[in-house]
Each structure stands twice: as C-alpha cells, then as structure tokens.
Amino acid sequence: MNLQQDEQVQPGRGASVMEPTHGEKLHPAPPNRPASPASIPPALDVVDVHASFRERRSKLPVLNGLSLTVEQGEFVAIVGPSGCGKSTLFHIIGGLLKPEEGQVLMNGHDVTGQRGKISYMPQQPALFPWRTIEDNVLLAGEVASSAPPRAEALAEARKWLSSVGLAGFEQAYPHMLSGGMQQRAAFLRALLSPQELMLLDEPFSALDALTRSDMQRWLLDIWEQNRRSVLFITHNIEEALLLADRVYVLSNRPATVLHEVHVPFDRPRREEITEESAFLERKRQIAQWMREEQQKARLS
C-alpha cells in the first residue's frame, strides 16, 4: 500500500486525513466499533485551543488552534516532537490550566478549566509507598465525590487485581513489585476511577523494551474488556498504531494537528499486525512527517 497519496482536509479541523489508494476506504471508526450516532456527542472535543506561557517579558506560544476529538469508547493516540505541548494539552483537558482561547467539551458539555472530569495515568506509576497495592488502587474512588461504599469498591478492586495478574499482591507495597506490575496497578487505579475518559501520558516510556511489549499486549486485552474512551500520548509510532483507533500527529511548538491517521486494523488486535505491509507503510509515513518537523525545528 502506497501512502504517498492525496490527503483530504477534514472540515473545520485543518488537519490532513490519511486515505488509502486503489479505492480502499478507511472507516471513520474501526471496523469492529461503529461510529457513534450523530445524537451522541464525543467523549472529548477539544476545540481550537490556544495556550502560551510567559517567559520573563516574552510570550512562548505552546498550542496554536489545536482541535481533536475522542468518540465514545474510542482509543486515540497522539504523537509529536518532544516539547511540542502534548503534556500542556493534557493539563488543559484535566482543568489544571485554562486555555487563552478555545473550549474543552466532554459529552457535549463545556468543562473548560474544570477539574475532576478525567482519570489520569502519568509516565511514572506514582503509587503512594505507604499504601498497599490494594489501597493504591482504591485511591481514585476514595477522592471522588460519587465513590461507592468501600466494601463494594474493595470487591471490585480485588476482582480486577486478580484479572491483571496481581492476585496475591493485594497487601504488598509498591517497592515490592516490578516496574511492569507497578504500572498495572497504576493503570487499574485509573480504570476504576468513576470518570469515563482516561488520559494516559506515556505510561510505558520508563519500561525496558520487553516489559513495554508485554504491557502493550496487556493493555490491549484490558481495553477490549471495557472500551473506555482513551487519549494516549506516546513518542513510539508503532505503539500508537498498535493500540489506537486513530492517531493525531502534532507539529512542532506551537502545536497544531498536522495529520489525522485512521487505523483500519480489526480488533481484537494482536502484535503480529506490526509485521504487515499496511502497518509498516503507515509507520513509515508518520516517521517521515516527524522527521520533517524535526528538520523544520533545526532550521528555525
């Protein structure tokens, strides 16, 4: 499959959408997950967001009219150059920062600048060392205003701890677990949060290659079971294509969406697709876009 084809501009977004040649169409939603009806708003809609930081007397633009969506039950990945503003975008979605312009909508409601609307998993597990794994997993529910009774939450947590391979470690402390096991506990904490939208900020970047591959397979299996709406930041193009339904490619800072890639591979998805020609063509195309952005940064 040759991806050096004409690109269609998505109305109102300004980003090119990768389309295949030879008459093949990539669906707006993955083949095994129909697109949400028009009456159902997206889980997340970031609309024309602008943001900048003050640097002494100067202004450092970070986001430049960035727009993206995550449909209900969709897994969306973001890739882009280092320092382009991906983490700033997450801070805005989570309500920690307020954009200079633009809106953040969740389920059709304006939540710009509001906190407590998302579940979040950072690059590091960020488990409290004085709490057991069980208590760390329960933390998200404890701080939520709509938390279930502890007995009910504990039963749910224990069921999931068993299903993710952490049975027998409920009373262990974080330092007693491997890096991959800590990441599983951190992901489970986010998964059991009452907020439907999950933001995952490079959750596997600190892991070695083998553990990272194991965690990718694990995440695919867990996500297939619950189909939460996910926005996932990664620098790894293969990881983005393996996990996501769509991939947004961001520009250098100030970031905007350069390209939107629909990932057409069936679910449940397995690691073997990374060796298929269609997968490799998309990987090469995104890598080329990233190299072009790096070259622009060096010349600027």
The model's pLDDT over 227-279, given as tens digits with 9 standing for 90+, comes to 889 999 998 999 999 999 999 999 988 899 999 999 999 888 888 899 999 99
Per-residue exposure over 123-144, b if at least 16 CB sit within 10 Å of its own CB, e if not: eebebeeeebbbbbbbebbeeb
Residue 15 is predicted with a pLDDT of: 57
User: Please, which residues bridge with residue 247 across strands?
Assistant: 77, 261
**CA–CA dist 165, 133 (Å, integer):** 12
C-beta separation of 104 from 70 below 8 A: no
Q: How far is CA 6 from CA 10, 264, 283, 286, in A?
A: 13, 18, 17, 15
For 238-260, the DSSP string reads: HHHHHH-SEEEEE-SSSB-EEEE
What is the model's pTM? 0.81
Average pLDDT over residues 157-175: 87
22-76 confidence digits (pLDDT tens) = 333 333 333 344 455 567 899 999 999 999 988 777 888 899 999 999 999 999 9
Give the model's pLDDT for residue 9. Answer: 36
Mean pLDDT of the chain: 82
* Across 156-178, average pLDDT: 87
Domains and CATH numbers, the chain: 10-118+196-299 (3.40.50.300), 128-194 (no CATH)
Instruction: Write down the residue that tokens 């890096």 correspond to.
Output: 179
Confidence of residue 91 (pLDDT cuts 50, 70, 90): very high
Q: How far apart are CA 126 and CA 25, in angstroms?
A: 42
For position 7, what pLDDT does the model report?
A: 38
Interior/surface letters 48-63, b for 16+ CB within 10 angstroms, e for the rest: bbbbbeeeeeeeeebb
pLDDT at 143: 66
Give the tens place of pLDDT for each residue, 202-226: 888 877 888 888 888 888 888 888 8
